[in-house]
Amino acid sequence: MDRPLVEPPARGSDAPRLKDGPPPGSAEARALDETWADPPGFFGWFCPVNHKTIAKRFIVTTLAFFAAGGLLAAVMRAQLSRPENNLVGPDMYNQLFTMHGTTMMFLFAVPVMQTVATYMLPLMLGTRNVAFPRMNAYAYWIFLFGGLMLYIAFFFNTGPDAGWFAYVPLSGPQFAPGKRVDFWAQMITFTEMSALVEAIVIITTIFKFRAPGMTLNRLPLFAWSMLVTSFMVLFAMPAVMLASTALIMDRLIGTHFYNPAEGGDALLWQHLFWFFGHPEVYLIFIPGLGFLSAIIPTFARRPIFGYTAMVLSLIATAFLSFGLWVHHMFATNLPELGKGFFTAVSMLIAIPSAIQIYCWLATLWTGRLNLKTPLLFVLAFFFILVLGGMTGLMLASVPLDLQVHDTYFVVAHLHYVLIGGAVFPLFGAFYYWFPKFSGRMMSEGLGRWSFWLMFIGFNLAFFPMHLLGLHGMPRRVYTYQAGMGWDNLNLASTIGAYTLALGIFLSLVNAIRSARSGEPAPADPWGGGTLEWATASPPATCNFHRVPVVYGRDPVWEPPPPGAPAYVSGLAADSREQLVTTVLDALPDHRISYPTPSPWPFLSAVATTILFVGSIFTPWAIVWGSVIVAVPLVGWFWPTRREAAEHMALEKQP
């Protein structure tokens, strides 16, 4: 019974197959490059499944949203630069701050971390692509369409105006008529779906696609941070999707989940939203910690101090982050004793962060410092994030929170934590990995200018807000009266915000100039130890022509012992084949045949968009939209004879 069920293609049966193993430059390596390349041409543009192609588009998209959110903030700061300003009115201002918060949280901070991960993880783990590459493509398209939908609505004066937190009843049918909040609620559905899909991609990639020898105990800390983040996404995001779906049902079909007059509850929204919303902060912050753990060892020229403690701290942070959502609700009528519990947890979560900070300081202390731009951004983290963490302790205390809650003090705190804990590390990571993305070095001089403008501008913009909050200035006000004593601090803050924007703009200029005419980057320009530095800059389409074998936590620094193999060979070079390893020990487990480029993810995303946008206008869109979505999904999963034959041939003749 060795007759194949389906006749394999001619070359599969007789001709010897090309196998990987030979070094770059060989015929096999060229075949690999070709096998893993994206299809060319206009139609090919809609079909890629290569993680680097998708991630590059994704990064550019999230950065475009970051810039848009920043411009909204610039208008807000101009409006608040002086009392009783008339640049924008309350209607526009409410849309501005809602769009700013929504953009930064949903369209920038969470996706940009996931997307840097989908670029870097296969390189760090020593594999050729992420798991479920078509789903990865689908996640990108759905995210793009959701973000565009929100901004198109905004440009047609239908931008959401109930805050990024959309508290009911203000966002409910009675007090927010029109479609503004509906667009917001569906944007949640789009982006959360994308985030959930990405989380599955990242978890599977980390668990199953690591290079042989990369046991969990040798997993790079950035990968650990993304693993933890992705599990948090899986548990946190469903809460907000549930909440926003109930909201849109209240608004569209007259359910009363949040209507106290009909037995609903206004606080239910807050519980659901913050059960997502607080882990959300940490799932923005934890990748930032991962960037730091990637950058610090390279620039301190030594392995990280306290690897195990770092991993356990990440996991502890993730668990604790689900137990402190009530500190957003201390001013409600929840029981006082219960609030005390949430005070304790909110303070407890400082401990794992403190452990990591101490371990990084120990790494820096005992290392030798290569003071380049990426390290500068990391050092800024110690100033900004630690200060933000301190104000976080104040907000964790019920009595102090009752004074500063919903004031500019909180605006200061959250920007110190999110910009210090995520954006500065992210910029450090961009400077660090830019040579890998583009094959060129970024300008060090421009990088330093950008850094100092950002650092000084940031502190000038946000430090005065602490004082404003203590002096009684509430958040989310489109203006304030003269004579309240808030004028000068607000003006200082505006000047700082524009300085910060200038610094960010310089980094953008730096990136564009360097991508065109920067100095060509070698494979390992910083002397880093993780696997992404073991391949060319920019990497080949297949990432690694030979899948490496790993013997330590920093594989580049710890080469194979004498006599041990440096790489595995034998995967097909003329067909997409990938090595799958075991979860704990990364022992070679089996080979899988890998999905090829396909337009179906794009078409499915278009169909999903029709369903989601349609359901803003009529509930029947759920019914006919399901049919529209089903068509491309059937196409997506329809098995073809050619693929089946190819898989059979690989099975039979390994």
Partner 1 sequence: MVPPVFGLCLRLVLLAVLALLLASLSDYALAATPIPQAVHDALDAMGPQASHIASLWNVFLAACAAVFLAILAVLLYVLWRTPRADGGDVPDLSSLREAEPGPQRHVTRAVVVSVLALFALVVASVFTDRALARLSLADAVNIEVTAHQWWWTAKYVNGGPSDSFTTANEIHVPVGRPVVVNLHADDVIHSLWVPSLAGKKDLIPGRSTVMQFRADHPGIYRGQCAEFCGYQHALMGLLVIAEPPAQFETWVQGQRQSATEPTDAKALRGKAVFESSSCAMCHAIQGSLASAQHAPDLTHVASRQTLAAGTLPNTPQDLSAWISNPQLHKPGTNMPATPLSKDDLEAIVAYLGGLK
Query: How far apart are the C-alpha atoms of 502 and 496, rounded to whole Å?
Result: 10
* In the complex, least distance from residue 182 CB atom to partner 1, rounded to whole angstroms: 17
The burial class, CB within 10 Å (0-12 / 13-18 / 19+), for 317 is buried
- The residue range among 122-130, 185-193, 230-238, 444-452 that interacts with partner 1, by the rule CB under 8 A, is 444-452
Q: Is 181 in the site for partner 1 (CB under 8 A)?
A: no
Give 78 or 592: the residue with its C-beta nearer to partner 1. 78
Please pick, from the candidates 50, 53, 62, 94, the single residue that binds partner 1 as defined by CB under 8 A.
94
* Nearest one of 430, 424, 355, 361 to 388, comparing CA atoms: 424
- The residue range among 131-139, 150-158, 229-237, 335-343 that interacts with partner 1, by the rule CB under 8 A, is 335-343
> What does the per-residue mask of binding to partner 1 show for 615-644, with x meaning CB under 8 A?
------------------------------
The secondary structure of 8-39 as a DSSP string is PPHHHHSSPPPBS-SPTTSHHHHHHHHHTSPP
Give 481 or 640: the residue with its C-beta nearer to partner 1. 481
Query: How far apart are the C-alpha atoms of 372 and 295, rounded to whole Å?
Result: 11
**Residue 223 contacts residue 592 (beta carbons within 8 Å):** no
Give 7 or 84: the residue with its C-beta nearer to partner 1. 84
* In the complex, least distance from residue 482 CB atom to partner 1, rounded to whole angstroms: 4
Give 319 or 624: the residue with its C-beta nearer to partner 1. 319
Structure tokens belonging to residue 224: 């650990």
Please pick, from the candidates 90, 254, 520, 559, the single residue that binds partner 1 as defined by CB under 8 A.
90
Site of tokens 């001013």: 331
Query: How far apart are the C-alpha atoms of 341 and 229, rounded to whole Å?
Result: 24
Give 175 or 319: the residue with its C-beta nearer to partner 1. 175
Site of tokens 């045949």: 593
Site for partner 1 in 204-233 (CB under 8 A): none
Sign of the alpha-carbon dihedral angle for 623, 627, 628, 629: positive
The secondary structure of 568-590 as a DSSP string is E--SBSSS-EEEEE-TTT--EEE
- The residue range among 121-129, 135-143, 471-479, 643-651 that interacts with partner 1, by the rule CB under 8 A, is 471-479
Q: Is 443 in the site for partner 1 (CB under 8 A)?
A: yes
* Nearest one of 291, 425, 294, 305 to 364, comparing CA atoms: 305
The burial class, CB within 10 Å (0-12 / 13-18 / 19+), for 373 is buried
* In the complex, least distance from residue 259 CB atom to partner 1, rounded to whole angstroms: 8
Give 194 or 510: the residue with its C-beta nearer to partner 1. 510
Phi, psi of 133 (to 5 degrees): -65, -30
Query: How far apart are the C-alpha atoms of 92 and 94, rounded to whole Å?
Result: 5
- The residue range among 56-64, 103-111, 233-241, 499-507 that interacts with partner 1, by the rule CB under 8 A, is 499-507
* In the complex, least distance from residue 506 CB atom to partner 1, rounded to whole angstroms: 6
**Residue 134 contacts residue 46 (beta carbons within 8 Å):** no
Please pick, from the candidates 34, 91, 643, 651, the single residue that binds partner 1 as defined by CB under 8 A.
91
* In the complex, least distance from residue 2 CB atom to partner 1, rounded to whole angstroms: 50
Site for partner 1 in 359-418 (CB under 8 A): 359, 361-362, 364-372, 379, 382-383, 386-387, 390-391, 393-394, 396-407
Q: Is 75 in the site for partner 1 (CB under 8 A)?
A: yes
* In the complex, least distance from residue 610 CB atom to partner 1, rounded to whole angstroms: 33
Give 162 or 202: the residue with its C-beta nearer to partner 1. 162
* In the complex, least distance from residue 596 CB atom to partner 1, rounded to whole angstroms: 38
Write the Ramachandran bin of 36: left for phi over 0, alpha for psi from -120 to 50, otherwise beta.
alpha
Give 15 or 482: the residue with its C-beta nearer to partner 1. 482
Structure tokens belonging to residue 293: 């753990």
Q: Is 57 in the site for partner 1 (CB under 8 A)?
A: no
Give 211 or 387: the residue with its C-beta nearer to partner 1. 387
Q: What angle do CA 387, 388, 394 make, to 5 degrees?
A: 95
Give 168 or 645: the residue with its C-beta nearer to partner 1. 168
Give 148 or 394: the residue with its C-beta nearer to partner 1. 394
Site for partner 1 in 542-581 (CB under 8 A): 552, 554, 557-558
- The residue range among 55-63, 347-355, 569-577, 638-646 that interacts with partner 1, by the rule CB under 8 A, is 347-355
**Residue 24 contacts residue 540 (beta carbons within 8 Å):** yes
Site for partner 1 in 591-620 (CB under 8 A): none
Give 347 or 580: the residue with its C-beta nearer to partner 1. 347
Site of tokens 């770092």: 310
Other C-beta atoms within 10 Å of 532: how many?
Answer: 25
* In the complex, least distance from residue 512 CB atom to partner 1, rounded to whole angstroms: 10
Binding-residue total with partner 1 (CB under 8 A): 118
Q: Is 536 in the site for partner 1 (CB under 8 A)?
A: no
* In the complex, least distance from residue 652 CB atom to partner 1, rounded to whole angstroms: 44
* In the complex, least distance from residue 612 CB atom to partner 1, rounded to whole angstroms: 27
Listed in sequence order, the DSSP H helices in 2-132 are 10-13, 27-35, 41-44, 51-80, 90-102, 110-125
Sign of the alpha-carbon dihedral angle for 76, 80, 82, 88: positive
Whole-angstrom Cα Rg for the chain: 26
> What does the per-residue mask of binding to partner 1 show for 124-153, with x meaning CB under 8 A?
------------------------------
